Amino acid sequence: LHSSLKKSDRVQTIGGIIGTVVELRDDTMVLRTHEASNTRITVARSALQTILKQGRDGAADDAGDDQAASAA
């Protein structure tokens, strides 16, 4: 799972945070959780629970960011 992770993937963490991967580092990843406010958080890569949607070759799929933030 961790080896297939890439930018623009839509993911969910074990804590229930849903976001789009915007940056990958050795042990952490930066997630955009809300497009309108450009909210980003850094989480441990080990916190990854599932990849909800594979990104498209570097083009982020942000269609669900507002819905995920509203549901939280």
Q: How many Å apart are CA 65 and CA 44, to the nearest integer? A: 20
**What mean pLDDT is reported for the chain?**
83
pLDDT for 33: 96
70 pLDDT higher than 60: no
Q: How many degrees, rounded to 5, is the angle at CA 62 between CA 9 and CA 57?
A: 45
36 pLDDT higher than 80: yes
Would you tell me how many other CB atoms lie within 10 Å of the CB of residue 62?
15
25 pLDDT higher than 80: yes
Residue % of the chain over a pLDDT of 90: 65
User: Using an 8 Å Cβ cutoff, are 32 and 40 in contact?
Assistant: yes
pLDDT for 28: 96
What number is the average pLDDT over the span 43-54?
94
